[in-house]
Amino acid sequence: MIASLVILPLLLMIAGTPIFLVFLTGVVVAMMFVLPLQPVALQQVLFGGFDNYALLAIPFFVFAGEMMSSSGIANRLIAWAMAMVGRVPGSLGVATVASSTALGAISGSSVAAVGALGKTLYPRLIAGGYGERRAGGLLASAGAIDIVIPPSIAMILYGMSAEQSIPQLFIAGVLPALLMALMLAAFVVFDAVRRGIPAEHGFSLTEALRATKKAFWALLMPVFVLGGIYLGVFSPTEAGGFACAYAIIIALLVYRTMSLADVVRAAGASAMLSAQILIVVAAASVVTWIMTTQGVPQALIAWIDAMQLTDVTFLLAVNLLLLVIGAFLDPTSAILVLAPLLVPIATSLGVDPVHFGIVMSVNLAIGMFTPPFGLNIFVAQQVTGLPAHTLYRGVVPFVVILVLALLIITYVPALSLTLGSSL
């Protein structure tokens, strides 16, 4: 079974096979030659993987994010961020981090943030003296925050896989995401001072108010969505539907930057992305089912017990494992396969499953821009035109910074659990 579910998928991944086919091929081979299971079980489990109400939130939030990105929100957020940090050394780099964080709170997609911001900010970063390597690395790494800050698609998938409250996971991601943003921004300021990169301009209250007015309705979206969830107005799935309606109204009637034809095109692009996510969900559910029926989680728990690991050493081992896996697998695939295996072990060692979800998400967020296969690197490469080796070197300091943030988040659970405990 190890050969069909581990070795064969690894070989297929190296060959560049789409991830859902990697999962399904390993399962089919295992069912045909190793496990005494009927083929009809594959079909039942495959379609059963979609049978979860929480999954409806994914296409909703994907469409809302696509609408907000296509309607020119990114430029308004950049202008707003620049107005807020104009006096800070390296203010353009800080604004890049702030813009990415704000866009993540709207779209929940790391790749979308890198693509949307890179087109506008990369030429300005180069003109501002950051250099190709630093500018490309900053764009690729800042998007990682969007995996953690709500509304996060990764959190929705973890909540489904680990049977945890999605609202609790959303609120738990707020402070860790802000810590990641602050540490990146602090490094940008330090680097700007060291290299003599000045602030773009001084702070102007008039300019800040003008930029806030222009970005006001975009900035309100996460307030309405998260406020509605925590006030009990709607569930996370219903919040996704509200976000779609809100985005359409803003794009068509308030900013007037999109036509009905543009909305239809955005819906088509969102449908394609949602399909890519959900087909991975279905394929990964089969892998999880196979492992569960064959007693893999129980065997892992017994193995951990025999090693007598503490929660501290277990979390350290998980961080090392996920940092490596994150460099090869996208967060969707990694969460769907690993969460059902790792969460029971974490719980048995006294680790809060909500806190563990944040730890997993931060690890996989770092993997989004970790060589060799971090998705953000490839998106940044398309946007900037830089060669891969330049981006690989450019992301190194940002990987180090966010690994330090990961250690803080891992071993200070209160950072993830304090806001949720007050609800």
For residue 248, pLDDT over 60 is answered with yes
For residue 3, pLDDT over 60 is answered with no
Hey, what's the torsion of the CAs at 108, 111, 117, 121, to 10 degrees? 140
Q: Hunting for tokens 């003109």 — which residue is that?
A: 127
For residue 354, pLDDT over 90 is answered with yes
For residue 229, pLDDT over 90 is answered with no
Average confidence (pLDDT) over 80-91: 79
Q: Which residues contact 252 (CB under 8 A, 6 or more apart)?
A: 258, 259, 260, 263
Residue-level pLDDT at 309: 78
Q: Which long-range contacts (CB under 8 A, 24 or more apart) does 248-257 make?
A: 248/67, 250/67, 250/68, 250/71, 250/217, 250/218, 250/221, 251/67, 251/68, 251/70, 251/71, 254/217, 255/71, 255/72, 255/73, 255/217, 257/71, 257/72
CB 406 within 8 A of CB 321: no
Q: Return d(Cα 63, Cα 60) in angstroms, integer.
A: 5
Q: Which of 40-44, 197-201, 237-241 comes out lowest in average pLDDT?
A: 197-201
Q: Return d(Cα 129, Cα 114) in angstroms, integer.
A: 20
Average confidence (pLDDT) over 177-182: 94
Band (337; pLDDT cuts 50, 70, 90): confident
Q: Hunting for tokens 């969707």 — which residue is that?
A: 332
Q: Return d(Cα 103, Cα 77) in angstroms, integer.
A: 7
Handedness of CA 260, 266, 272, 273 (dihedral sign): negative
Helical axes 132-142 vs 388-411, angle rounded to 10°: 40
pLDDT above 90 as % of the chain: 17
Greatest mean pLDDT range, 167-181, 252-266, 283-297, 322-336? 167-181
Residue-level pLDDT at 352: 94
Taking alpha carbons only, the member of 67, 137, 130, 98 closest to residue 399 is 137
Strands (E), 278-403: none
Taking alpha carbons only, the member of 101, 137, 314, 42 closest to residue 219 is 101
